Structure 1
């Protein structure tokens, strides 16, 4: 499918630039050119498709649907699925968290959305397909949605509403019930320019994350020997997955920045499940997110939230290693 991109990368690096094919620099530059073109192309195509989905299911409609319908447990799964098709990182999901709580959606369902939204989105899906193929992508997306559903369910059963911050409690007390505003129905042809513009905007917003991430990955690909990391985070090490997640928490990046690095880590010998657990920790459990959550949650509630999500990520990492 992407042979033409590989042929272009080979031609550009080895013929136009005249860099030796078996050199470290040639290997790194070839990786950089190939992955950059492939990922940006997939990124635009999938964000365009998901833009169509988001156009017909805006976040306000999702919120109203979840708050007005009794779904007998399926609401956790639906909230996670909605989180997977919305292009939000962990930090930008926090304002939506406030809006969901204010809209009357139970806290556990809101958590299901908050957990899944940064972990699985069109950016991650596009890059995952290009790097690991469809099978791994489907397992990754399924596990992300399942993780959000289970995490939201557990957090919902803990009855943590009293641990919301005083600021949120006041917002809820003063909130007025608003009727859903009907929006004018538009044809697909009328929506198309806005969908295209939004897809371009998403690609533009993560462009430098992609470039930097691929650049770091290219250097690792060309200059770090295969098996370098196996000594520390190998499949035989029973603590590799929790260690990877714990190391990820102080870091922060979105999927566009961290996935190219994950790709190289896997090529260098780290099991895919361990690498994905590390990625989920970076994307979904970050210090900037904890800082923002301090506005809406008490420290105790943040600790419980991080604890539950960390446990779910570690379990999913082990399951990934078993499956893949």
Structure 2
């Protein structure tokens, strides 16, 4: 399904607009078209569907189960769901909004949000071919553990209080006893559709321009990853090279598929595997475009906490993989 966005972007950028494949301008325009269409599709689909489910089904049992009875299971489910979904950080935000609007505990939602770009099927397949299943399994387990730990910490500090007012209101409304889930049996399909449509339009009007701004910034930076510089300056394997690689990846932006050629190039040129993974995870999951979008649903305080959690997580993954894979 997601390949359709790539095909459409290729056709629009290279066939209709006549840009040159492989050029910096062509790559930037293709990247912008692919990511914006994908994110808007996910925004419309996920927010509408989840809102329709909220108005149609009684999900209080699921929410209560995740919130109080088996919270660790909830963190594990959120983190695992993030690991198996093929979304970059910006693409994960529509699902984050849908989960929040459904009243799912913020820590569980954050477990998904952090793990989704951290682990992706393309990186898993690449690691399997390059270093074997043992290192790949360690990478997956560490990523899931980071998502669980981050979710537990964010629930501990009551992160829901640091959402933007409209997101907090949606979360609190869904958590009330008289939320639409309680009255779903009395609603006609038209009423459920109207509820979902209103919620979709409310969120879209708040975030649509930030999708263009965030992805536009990422597209402008796309293709300018100086892999030769990284291999030359961070290839010695010293402890500080991992956090340096993480920090260097923040201004850049790529989706999970686009970063794979960079990973291959860096590994071939001698950059340690853990350092390479840390850099690529930072580029995919802690970039400026992602935080431009997240700022629309989170306060600066929560955004800073998420940012620091990601930096520490990527650094730990890099250190662990470098120690194991010598």
SS of the equivalent of 2:233 reads coil
> Are the counterparts in 2 of residues 155 and 308 from structure 1 also a CA contact under 8 Å?
no
Q: What residue number does 2:213 align with? A: none
Q: What residue number does 2:256 align with? A: 255
**Rounded Cα–Cα distance in structure 1 between residues aligned with 2:258 and 2:232:** 25
Establish whether residue 97 from structure 1 lines up as the match of residue 96 from structure 2. yes
> Are the counterparts in 1 of residues 237 and 272 from structure 2 also a CA contact under 8 Å?
no
Counterpart pick for 1:67 among 60, 63, 69: 63
- Measure how far apart 1:297 and its partner are: 0.5
Q: What residue number does 1:153 align with? A: 152
More helix by share: 2
Q: What residue number does 1:297 align with? A: 298
Aligned-pair Cα RMSD in Å? 3.1
Q: What residue number does 1:76 align with? A: 75
SS of the equivalent of 1:295 reads coil
**Rounded Cα–Cα distance in structure 1 between residues aligned with 2:278 and 2:321:** 9
Establish whether residue 271 from structure 1 lines up as the match of residue 272 from structure 2. yes
Q: What residue number does 2:4 align with? A: none
Q: What residue number does 1:246 align with? A: 247
> Are the counterparts in 2 of residues 216 and 261 from structure 1 also a CA contact under 8 Å?
no
Q: What residue number does 1:37 align with? A: none
> Are the counterparts in 2 of residues 128 and 259 from structure 1 also a CA contact under 8 Å?
no
Q: What residue number does 1:177 align with? A: 180
Q: What residue number does 1:204 align with? A: none
Q: How many residue pairs were aligned?
A: 227
> Are the counterparts in 2 of residues 147 and 313 from structure 1 also a CA contact under 8 Å?
no
- Measure how far apart 1:142 and its partner are: 1.5
**Rounded Cα–Cα distance in structure 2 between residues aligned with 1:321 and 1:269:** 13
- Measure how far apart 1:174 and its partner are: 4.5
Q: What residue number does 1:283 align with? A: 284
**Rounded Cα–Cα distance in structure 2 between residues aligned with 1:236 and 1:278:** 13
- Measure how far apart 1:216 and its partner are: 9.7
- Measure how far apart 1:170 and its partner are: 2.8
**Rounded Cα–Cα distance in structure 1 between residues aligned with 2:303 and 2:279:** 20
> Are the counterparts in 2 of residues 273 and 321 from structure 1 also a CA contact under 8 Å?
yes
Unaligned runs of 5+ in 2: 1-48, 186-221
- Measure how far apart 1:173 and its partner are: 4.6
Q: What residue number does 1:86 align with? A: 85
Change (3 A) 1:252 1:91: same
SS of the equivalent of 1:178 reads helix
- Measure how far apart 1:125 and its partner are: 2.4
After alignment, is 247-256 or 164-173 more displaced? 164-173
Change (3 A) 1:264 1:136: farther
> Are the counterparts in 2 of residues 113 and 148 from structure 1 also a CA contact under 8 Å?
yes
> Residue by residue, what CA displacement relative to the aligned partner does 1:28-70 show, whole Å, maximum 9, x if unpaired?
xxxxxxxxxxxxxxxxxxxxxxxxxxxxxx9879x95852422
* TM-score, normalised via structure 1 length: 0.62
* TM-score, normalised via structure 2 length: 0.62
